Amino acid sequence: MLGGNVVHSKRLHGVHVPHRKNTAGDKPVRLPTPAVVTIPMSMHIGAPAKPVVNVGDEVKVGQLIAEAGGFVSSPIHSGVSGKVKKIEDILMSGGQFVPAIVIETDGQQTLFEGLAAPSVTNLQEFVDAVRASGVVGLGGAGFPSAVKLSVKELSSIEAVIINGAECEPYITSDTRTMIDDADLVWEGIELLQKFMQVKRVIIGIEDNKPQCISGFEKRCKDAQGVEVKALPALYPQGGEKVLIFSTIGRAVPEGKLPIDVGAIVINCTTLAAIAKYIKTGFPLVEKCVTVDGSAVKNPKNVIAPIGTPLKDIFDFCGGFKSEPKKVLYGGPMMGLAVPDLDAPVLKNTNAVLAFTEKDAILAKESSCIKCGRCVAHCPFDLSPCDIETAFRLKKPEELDVLKVNICMECGCCAYVCPANRPLVQVNKLAKVMLRNYQTEQKALEAKQKAKEEAKKEEKK
């Protein structure tokens, strides 16, 4: 459907997954201040943040503790008051070690004296304020929001799409934002209209969230340029490129960005966090996290400081019914396994799920039967079975032809596969294979070019 430059279908391909929105009707509950928080310097796409505090320093809530490490980066603030205990490398769910600031809290939650609403009178001040807020994409991607809003030509923005799809099973933190913090979401829309001259705003919400849809429809009656689009509850409706197609009917070409088709997509909770900072000067220091899964005693949405150990959050929810076999950051379709329960809440943590052995064990895989289900359900019209074959045969040039880099790793292919093939894992590894191949090819081309130039010099 969305592969390449052409929209091949007017219908979204995907899968109907069980919603299991068990916590959608419950207001988030604030977690008591944890004894210790561990705040990684890399909770976003781009360069890691650089610590500006040292071991032994006293810090307060909202205080800057790490500055952005580059243009594509994000500053980090403390969500607790206390003392910096140590700065050490910790293991992240992606397998990499990153520096982290460990703070021993004092239980006082003393606010930093310097917190104040920024002065914002023009576009540049607006983008600068978003950068200072530490807000990144909170729907899971973690892309620095200021970078996304740094558009050279405002006239290229034809539509801003507010992502309220929340298509993964279990997760309801965005749903609660759209219910409990609807005012902030709306204020965020008004900021975009004012400073980015946005003429059309579309709030995309899956139709299994009627309360959210009706709430914003009422607000749209007296507003200009804002509309609500109720979307079929079909996974992966919340994927950025999928959402663009579902709302404005445009496909983002391979290697291009949403802005190249006139769109910007912003998660609803991200927008609320931006509005909160512009209004109060309070940076991103805490998250609403959905805590659920078959192993959790009392599922709920929990508001916790960034850096809170997951163990504290699960304990707050009554602990486990039985020892969990698998714990995930995010949803069951695209979530990442957590290395241990000391792992912290991150900026882009929207859920932590714990599953019993019955729900966590993968079914035994068998041979591909060429049924084509993976192709039929891929939102980007890829052929996962052919990608797997090319990967197994170590043919990276075929992976390029099969456009493996378009894959968003949504998991639809693996979900529908009757042979239980590990298609998502293969796609991830196939991307690495292709990237290594392309790097080698560039090196060979450079070497060949150098030889040819050397020969030319010899002939002179």
Residue by residue, DSSP assigns 58-89 as EE-BT-EEEE-SSSS---EE-SS-EEEEEEEE
DSSP letters, 257-325, are: -GGGGTEEEEEHHHHHHHHHHHHH---S-EEEEEEESTTBSS-EEEEEETT-BHHHHHHHTT-BSS--S
Using DSSP, state whether 112 is helix, strand or coil: coil
What is the C-alpha separation between 141 and 132, in angstroms, rounded? Answer: 19
pTM surpassing 0.75?
Answer: yes
Nearest to 167 by CA among 427, 412, 375, 414: 412
Record the tokens describing residue 38, joined without a space: 């561990």
CB atoms closer than 10 angstroms to residue 413:
27
Spatial contact of 301 and 28, defined as CB atoms under 8 Å apart: yes
Please give the torsion angle defined by the CA atoms of residues 297, 165, 275 and 48, in that order, rounded to the nearest 10 degrees.
70
Q: Is 97 helix (H, G, I), strand (E, B) or coil?
A: strand
Which of 237, 185, 247, 245 has its CA nearest to residue 216?
Answer: 185
- Which residues, at least 6 apart from 441, have a Cβ–Cβ distance to it below 8 Å? none
Q: What b/e string do you get for 238-259 counting C-beta neighbours within 10 Å, with b at 16 or more? A: bbbbbbbbbbbebbbbeeeebb
- Give the Cα-Cα-Cα angle 351, 296, 35 (nearest 5 degrees): 70
How many residues in total does the chain contain? 460
DSSP 8-state secondary structure symbol assigned to residue 133 = H
Helix (H, G, I), strand (E, B) or coil at 145: helix
Residues 221 and 360: their CA atoms lie apart, in Å, by 46
- Between CA 39 and CA 163, with CA 79 as vertex, the angle to 5 degrees is 85
- Under a CB-based contact definition with an 8 Å cutoff, are residues 158 and 262 in contact? yes
pLDDT per residue rounded down to tens, the chain (460 residues): 444 333 334 567 899 999 999 999 999 999 999 999 999 999 999 999 999 999 999 999 999 999 999 999 999 999 999 999 999 999 999 889 999 999 999 999 999 999 999 999 999 999 999 999 999 999 877 999 999 999 989 999 999 999 999 999 999 999 999 999 999 999 999 999 999 999 999 999 999 999 999 999 999 999 999 999 999 999 999 999 999 999 999 999 988 999 999 999 999 999 999 999 999 999 999 999 999 999 999 999 999 999 999 999 999 999 999 999 999 999 999 999 998 999 999 999 999 999 999 999 888 999 999 999 999 999 999 999 999 999 999 999 999 999 999 999 999 999 999 999 999 999 999 999 999 999 999 999 999 988 888 888 777 6
Contact (CB, 8 A) for 3 and 402: no
- The secondary structure element, H or E, covering residue 160 is strand 159-164
Cβ neighbours around 237 below 10 Å, total: 24
Give first-to-last CA distance, the chain, whole Å: 55
Report CA-CA distances (Å) from 23 to 104, 170, 301.
31, 8, 7
Q: What does DSSP assign to residue 355? A: E
Q: Where are the beta strands (DSSP E) in 293-443?
A: 300-305, 326-329, 336-337, 351-355
Among all chains, which residue has been given the structure tokens 């690495």? 432
Angle (CA) 173-174-180 rounded to 5° is: 85
Kindly give the residue spans of alpha helices, DSSP state H, lying in 134-181: 145-148, 173-180
| Look-up of token digits 């992966």 | 236
pLDDT of residue 16: 95
* Rounded distance between C-alpha atoms, residue 447 and residue 438, angstroms: 14
